[in-house]
Amino acid sequence: MAAPFLPLTRPTIDEETIAGVGEVLRSGWITSGPKVKELEAKLSECFGGRPVRVFNSGTCTMEIALRIAGVGPGHEVITTPLSWVATSNVILEVGARPVFVDIDPVTRNIDLARAESAITPATRAIIPVDLAGQPVDRDRLYELARRRGLRVIEDAAQSMGSTWGGRPVGTTGDFTSISFHPNKNITTIEGGALVMNDEREAKLAEQYRLQGVVRNGFDGMEVEVVGGKFNLTDVAARVGLGQLPRLAEFNARRRELAREYFLRIDTAELREIGLGLPPADFTQSNWHMFQIVLPEARLNVPRATIMGELHAAGIGTGVHYPAIHLFAVYRRLGWKEGDLPLAEQVCRNILTLPLFPAMTEADVARVAAELHRILLAHRRG
C-alpha cells in the first residue's frame, strides 16, 4: 500500500479553535470586533508591549508601513530579489522604485554591505526579508539605518517566533510586518499584523486599514487619508487566538524536524555533488521552511524534473522563490539577467521540502531517502 501524499505544508488547528470559530459565527458579530481587539492585545504582549494592528494580509501591512513612513513617488526602497513578489510589489503600490541588491550566499538574506552601496539621495527605506525564518542581522541592519537615515520595514512574514540577540523579532526596531497565511508557523487562515513604534502610527494604520475613516460619536465621520479595505474578521482572529499560544510548541517541533533533515540529508554522496543546505541555526530561526539548493552543474535534469519525481513518489515540494527582478514587471524597469548573480543562481535551484509540526521523523526519513535516490540517479557524469 502506497504511503499517503505528504504535502509541502499543512496547518495544525485544534478542535477547541474550531469550536471557538463556531461560537463567533453564532454570536452574530463576524467582521472586525472584539476578537480582533483581543488578538491585537495578545500580539502586543508578544512584541514587548509595542502597538500592533491586524489586517487581512501580510502584504498590506508593508504597504501601510511605507505610507506611514512617507514613502512615495520619487523615492527608492532597497530590498532583496529572493522573496515573495509582494515584498517589492508594495513599493510599486506607493509609487516608489524598488532597488534590488544581491544576497548573502550563506544566509540567503539581503547582503547589507551591498545594500549600503545601493543607497542614493532618493533612498528612504529598506525592506529586509527573514527568508525561511532566518533573521537578518538586526545589529548591522539598524546601525546602517540609523547612520543613513532610513526607515526599516522588516518583512518578518516568515519569522514569527524567530529571535535576534535573544530577543524575539519585532520586539525592537522599526516597523515589523508579520504574515498569518496558512503556510506560516501560525495562521489566521489569511491575515497579517503590523508592529509599530507608537500610538500615532497605530491610529494612522487604523485609518489606512478601513478607507481612511475616523469616527467621532454616534454620527461623526471624517476621511483624512485614502485608505483601503484591509480589516481582519473576528472569525479569522479567533483562529489566531487559538494558534498564538501554540507558537512555541510549533516552532520547537519544526526545529526537531529540521535537525532530523540534517541527519538524513547531510550525506557524503550529496555533499560530494554539492547539494546546498540551509544555515544550521537552531538558536534564532523558527524554521519556517527547510530549503536546499540543487547543484545544477552536477545534475543532468532541471529542478522541475526533480520536483516531478518527488511528486510521483508522494512528496510535495515548492519553490520559494523565483528571482523577483526577472519578472516582466521588473524587467520593464530595467532589471535583467546577470544583475544579481548570487540570487539568480539560488533562485534557479532552491527547493523547499515539506516541514510542518504534524510531520513525523518517518516522514523526514522518507523525503530524505527519495531525494537521495532521485539526485544520485540524475548525477551528471
User: pLDDT per residue over 339-351, tens digit each?
Assistant: 999 999 999 999 9
Tell me the pLDDT tens digit for each residue of 238-290: 999 999 999 999 999 999 999 999 999 989 999 999 999 999 999 999 999 99
Q: Which CATH class is domain 247-377?
A: alpha beta
| Calpha distance 66→78 (Å, rounded) | 12
pLDDT digits (tens, 9 = 90+) for 118-150: 999 999 999 999 999 999 999 999 999 999 999
Question: Residues 71, 64: contact at Cβ < 8 Å?
Answer: no
Q: Is the pLDDT of residue 381 over 80?
A: no
Which helix (H) or strand (E) segment is 234 a member of? Answer: helix 234-243
Answer whether 78's CB lies under 8 Å from 96's CB.
no
Report strand pairing: 97-100 vs 76-79.
parallel
175-179 sheet: strands from edge to edge: 52-55, 192-195, 175-179, 151-155, 123-127, 76-79, 97-100
Q: Is the pLDDT of residue 1 over 80?
A: no
Specify the pairing of strand 350-353 against strand 290-293: antiparallel
Report the alpha-carbon distance of residue 297 to residue 292 in Å, rounded: 15
Considering only CA atoms, which of 58, 59, 64, 56 is closest in space to residue 202? 64
Domain 15-245, CATH among 3.90.1150.10, 3.40.50.720, 1.10.340.30, 3.40.640.10: 3.40.640.10
Domain ranges of the chain: 15-245, 247-377
Average pLDDT, the chain: 97
Q: How far apart are CA 159 and CA 184, in angstroms?
A: 9
Average pLDDT of the residues in 98-120: 98
CA distance 82 to 52: 27
In tens, the pLDDT along 303-343 reads: 999 999 999 999 999 999 999 999 999 999 999 999 999 99
Return the pLDDT at 82. 98
What are the catalytic residues?
Answer: 184
For 97-109, the DSSP string reads: EEEE-PBPTTT-S
